[in-house]
Amino acid sequence: GENVEQHPSTLSVQEGDSAVIKCTYSDSASNYFPWYKQELGKRPQLIIDIRSNVGEKKDQRIAVTLNKTAKHFSLHITETQPEDSAVYFCAASNFNKFYFGSGTKLNVKP
């Protein structure tokens, strides 16, 4: 089955700096890679996703890159703000199940 690894587990940045979270996956059949943001005690919310036919996608301060050959994808947050502080999960899917990474706790210091 699919194995998704996510790094780092915790990330602390200064407000205004960029944050990068990286994930790797093992199943070459995975073709859909969403990223979720989960605030304490709340539901995970989809913030951006990318499909395997695209190498990069951007939405304002958030971008995701995908390298199918190397089987890794990354989340990039620029100009971080305190409200970006949360736990971020990556996931990989192949039309069936979703496999989640272990999560990254992002702390943006004002």
Partner 1 sequence: GAVVSQHPSRVICKSGTSVKIECRSLDFQATTMFWYRQFPKQSLMLMATSNEGSKATYEQGVEKDKFLINHASLTLSTLTVTSAHPEDSSFYICSARAPSGTLGNQPQHFGDGTRLSIL
Q: Which residues bind partner 1 (CB under 8 A)?
A: 31-32, 34, 36, 42-46, 49, 51, 89, 93-103, 105
DSSP 75: E
Amino acid identity, residue 2? E
Q: Are 84 and 108 in contact (CB under 8 A)?
A: yes
**How big is the chain by its Cα radius of gyration, in Å?**
13
User: Cβ 15 to partner 1, closest distance in Å?
Assistant: 24
Amino acid identity, residue 103? G
Residue closer to partner 1, measured from CB, 29 or 81: 29
User: Cβ 38 to partner 1, closest distance in Å?
Assistant: 9
Residue 84, SS3 per DSSP = helix
User: Cβ 37 to partner 1, closest distance in Å?
Assistant: 11
Q: Tell me the C-alpha to C-alpha distance, in Å, between residue 19 and each of 13, 26, 31.
A: 7, 24, 24
Residue closer to partner 1, measured from CB, 16 or 46: 46
Residue closer to partner 1, measured from CB, 44 or 84: 44
**54 backbone dihedrals φ, ψ, rounded to 5°:** -130, 145
Residue closer to partner 1, measured from CB, 73 or 99: 99
